[in-house]
Amino acid sequence: MKQIFTQVFLGAMLLFSMSAKAQDSLFISELADPADDYTGRFIELYNSGSEPVDFSSLICFLSRQSNGGSTWGDLQLTGTVAAGATFVIGGSGFEALYGRAPDQESGILIGNGDDAYALFLGGDHETGTLHDVFGVRDMDGSGELWEYEDSRALRLEAILTPNSGWTAAEWEITMADVADCNPGTHLGSVVPPGDFALALGSDTISLGQAFELPVSVSELTATDDIISYQFDIAFDPLVLDYTGYSLSGTLAEGGSLELNNAVPGSLSVGYMNTSSIVGEGEILMLQFNALALDTTVLEISSAYLNSSPVQNLTQGTVIVTEVAPPTAAITYSDTLNRFVDTLLITATFSEAMSASNPIRLGLSGAVSLVDVEMTRISELVYTYAYQIPKASGEVSISLSNGTDLWGNEVLPVPTAGLSFDIIPFFPGDVDDDGVILAYDAALTLQYSVGIDPMPILDPMPWEPWRDSTANVDGAGDITAFDAGMILQYSAGIISEFSSEALKSAPVAAVTIEVEDQHLLFRSYGELLGLNLEVIDASDMLGRPVILKEDFISAYRITDDSYQVGICTAISASDGEEIMKIPFRGKGPLSLKMVVNTRVQLVEMNLATGLNAPEEHEKVAIYPNPVHDKLYVRGLSDPALARIYNVHGQLLRTITLEGSSSVIDLVDLSMGVYLISFKTGSGTVIRRFLKKESP
């Protein structure tokens, strides 16, 4: 940073009052006439004493005698030379060449290397007392030992006092260019820092806002006689754009200021006045525009008040914030939303959101959901997985609680995707054509045996909404009973699939007999649906034959699967034959039947028929209902007992020895269970109810 030093013209001569010790330490320490640029000429004075030399108390002139003749130039010195410091007098080109301004600027330095220079105390060359001299007065220096044309004359470091007579041994004169000269550094001299402080203001402003930032100074008094300042300021040009300055209303109002902003993000400031700055406060207002949401530190450096460096510097900070509230655009994973579907709701925000304030989602209209927390995917994206309930109509979205990084709360109404629609849920309308027909029952029946009834529109497994549409009893998987209920609805036998209507399925039973190489199935009670699955040995059975014309059926027979489903709107008479299945070979056969909603496991021997011989009737379980222990009696052989839940899931296998046994059921939850006993002579199945222990 270039220094700007003071130029003061006093209106009257001051009386000489400096102590002898102070004045005797001031002398000429260097003269320069650079070979490559005459505007780099300067004269340097040095104070080797322990007290400052104040030119307001000491009348001191620097005088030049041109070519030993009668032409003199006199310059009264102003300012102060600190103890152990230098004082540089330079011309108008000095600052551009040396990167700092002289302590005093003057045109006296027009000598071309053969002129004598002298310091006079108490007056000029006519009235003052000679104090120190370079060269011989009244002599042209051309060709003399003290000629310094295109050179630099430097006083030796051992010389610490002035000399009123020229002594060549005190000087070293060498050829020099500007680059060889270093004014203001005699004997390591630096300008001592002043006891002052400068501070840049700080602020938090909005994006795009124009604002002013003050530069302030600590308390200045008239005695300080501060008539100039200068400093550099650096900032991030991507965050702030400098637009101007103002002195109006500041302590420096009325002065002259130059500001260089040629380099983006850098300001070089120089100010001067003919009157002193007095007081504490603002000396400059810098003007900026905020360009980006960010923070920048404004660094002040290379600061001077007059010629005194300022080391107590306070940097400024500007935070550019967003005062406009954040907004969100809502998108949805699907446009067709039905019961039990999972809809992914995505909110994309206009700016980064604070992780410390969760975004909350609200739904109103066809459904109600209050302030559920969304999942943060990134600083801009949040999601919520919403399972569609039984509802229909428009659902409106609202947002709450979330804030951006600057604390601005999100606008509750989205900028896009304000709502979504829920398609009405119609149980039984499996093909979604608005009408419940026998065709819907047929689709359901096919699905219950593993046939893919809609491979193009909705391949297995069905979408959750269609699964729920077909599963009208709401229990377990889709079965032939669901198909039977749908068939009843299509025929007008029932008018709804409400929870009350389906609270308990009709009581029904199916028996199996062996007759002429066929399994013969008879119906008892109100049978609406039957699902049959062969657990093993499926290759022993042929295609089923449905014996009731008003029953509809579906079957799926593969190398490793045998499934049959039949349903009806009107149940058969008790004992009526409903289906027969041919078989080949002999041996055991395990069947699983779902009769309406009741699961029944059957073990058969194709050679002897249904394994329910007389001795099996003696097998009994008690107590029933049971709390903790179930007693078994009547077994003629060791048996393998299996306990199933009502969905046919195997829960436990126990080996029983002897005709009477006890089974511990303490770990079973309350509910209805099936237990099968497999012996050497066949299988018998019993049902029991588990109750809570007293």
pLDDT score recorded for residue 613 = 45
Q: How confident is the model at residue 538 (pLDDT cuts 50, 70, 90)?
A: low
pLDDT score recorded for residue 499 = 55
Cβ proximity of 191 and 309 under 8 Å? yes
Tell me the mean pLDDT in the region 411-423.
94
Tell me the mean pLDDT in the region 181-206.
80
Least confident of 8-22, 104-118, 290-304, 381-395: 8-22
User: Whose structure tokens read 């003629």?
Assistant: 636
pLDDT tens profile 49-69: 888 898 988 999 999 988 878
pLDDT averaged over every residue in the chain: 86
Residue 599's nearest CA partner among 510, 539, 519 is: 510
Local structure of 187: helix, strand or coil: helix
What residues have CB less than 8 Å from 630, skipping those under 6 apart? 621, 622, 623, 624, 662, 663, 665, 675, 688
At 226, list the tokens.
């501060």
Percent of the chain with pLDDT over 70: 91
pLDDT tens profile 281-314: 999 999 999 999 899 999 999 999 987 889 899 9
pLDDT above 60 (res 5)? no
Q: Which uninterrupted H or E stretch holds 653?
A: strand 650-656
Instruction: For residues 411 and 418, give the distance between their C-alpha atoms in angstroms, rounded to a whole number.
Output: 12
Instruction: For residues 102 and 514, give the distance between their C-alpha atoms in angstroms, rounded to a whole number.
Output: 125
> What totals of helices (H) and strands (E) does the chain contain, helices first?
5, 49
Q: What is the dihedral of CA 50, 54, 58, 62, to 10 degrees?
A: 100
At 639, list the tokens.
């048996």
Specify the CATH superfamily of domain 20-188: Lamin Tail domain (2.60.40.1260)
pLDDT above 50 (res 137)? yes
Buried b (16+ CB within 10 A) or exposed e, 463-500: eebbbbbbbbbeeeebbbbbbbbbbbbbeeebeebeee
What residues have CB less than 8 Å from 182, skipping those under 6 apart? none
pLDDT score recorded for residue 177 = 93
Domain 328-422 bears CATH identifier 2.60.40.1930: yes
pLDDT above 60 (res 478)? yes
pLDDT above 50 (res 413)? yes
User: Whose structure tokens read 């009257």?
Assistant: 12
At 354, list the tokens.
């604070």
pLDDT score recorded for residue 618 = 75
Q: Where are the domains of the chain?
A: 20-188, 197-321, 328-422, 436-610, 612-694
Tell me the mean pLDDT in the region 324-341.
91
Instruction: For residues 42 and 90, give the distance between their C-alpha atoms in angstroms, rounded to a whole number.
Output: 5
User: Whose structure tokens read 């370079």?
Assistant: 134
Tell me the mean pLDDT in the region 114-140.
92
Alpha helices in 230-325 (DSSP H): none
What residues have CB less than 8 Å from 376, skipping those under 6 apart? 353, 355, 358, 359, 382
Q: Choose between 111 and 572: higher pLDDT.
A: 572
Least confident of 31-45, 381-395, 545-559, 605-619: 605-619
The CATH architecture one would assign to domain 436-610 is: Sandwich (2.60)
At 124, list the tokens.
């000029």
What residues have CB less than 8 Å from 681, skipping those under 6 apart? 611, 613, 615, 616, 636, 637
Residue 139's nearest CA partner among 114, 113, 112 is: 114
Cβ proximity of 114 and 142 under 8 Å? yes
pLDDT score recorded for residue 617 = 60
Tell me the mean pLDDT in the region 630-641.
85
For the domain covering 612-694, report its CATH number. Answer: 2.60.40.3080
Local structure of 614: helix, strand or coil: helix
Q: How confident is the model at residue 3 (pLDDT cuts 50, 70, 90)?
A: very low
Q: Which of 369-383, 603-617, 621-635, 637-651 has the highest mean pLDDT?
A: 369-383
pLDDT tens profile 205-264: 888 899 999 999 999 998 888 999 999 999 999 999 999 999 999 999 999 999 999 999
Instruction: For residues 20 and 274, give the distance between their C-alpha atoms in angstroms, rounded to a whole number.
Output: 31
Same fold? 436-610, 612-694: yes
Instruction: For residues 403 and 614, give the distance between their C-alpha atoms in angstroms, rounded to a whole number.
Output: 78
Q: Which uninterrupted H or E stretch holds 610?
A: strand 609-610
Q: Choose between 37 and 604: higher pLDDT.
A: 37
Tell me the mean pLDDT in the region 96-106.
87
Instruction: For residues 234 and 592, give the distance between their C-alpha atoms in angstroms, rounded to a whole number.
Output: 85
User: Whose structure tokens read 């806002």?
Assistant: 209
Domain 197-321 bears CATH identifier 3.90.10.10: no
pLDDT above 70 (res 12)? no
Percent of the chain with pLDDT over 90: 46
Q: What is the DSSP string of 337-395?
A: B-TT-EEEEEEEESS-B-TTS--EEEEEESS-EEEEEPEESSSSEEEEEEE--S--EEE
Tell me the mean pLDDT in the region 629-640.
85
Local structure of 608: helix, strand or coil: coil
What residues have CB less than 8 Å from 262, skipping those under 6 apart? none
pLDDT score recorded for residue 298 = 96
Cβ proximity of 134 and 165 under 8 Å? no
pLDDT tens profile 397-407: 999 999 988 88
Instruction: For residues 28 and 34, give the distance between their C-alpha atoms in angstroms, rounded to a whole number.
Output: 18
- In sign, the C-alpha dihedral spanning 257, 263, 267, 268 is negative
Instruction: For residues 73 and 116, give the distance between their C-alpha atoms in angstroms, rounded to a whole number.
Output: 11
Instruction: For residues 320 and 249, give the distance between their C-alpha atoms in angstroms, rounded to a whole number.
Output: 26
Tell me the mean pLDDT in the region 27-37.
92
Tell me the mean pLDDT in the region 158-179.
93
pLDDT above 70 (res 93)? yes
Cβ proximity of 196 and 305 under 8 Å? yes
Tell me the mean pLDDT in the region 259-272.
95
pLDDT score recorded for residue 682 = 62
pTM attached to this predicted model: 0.46
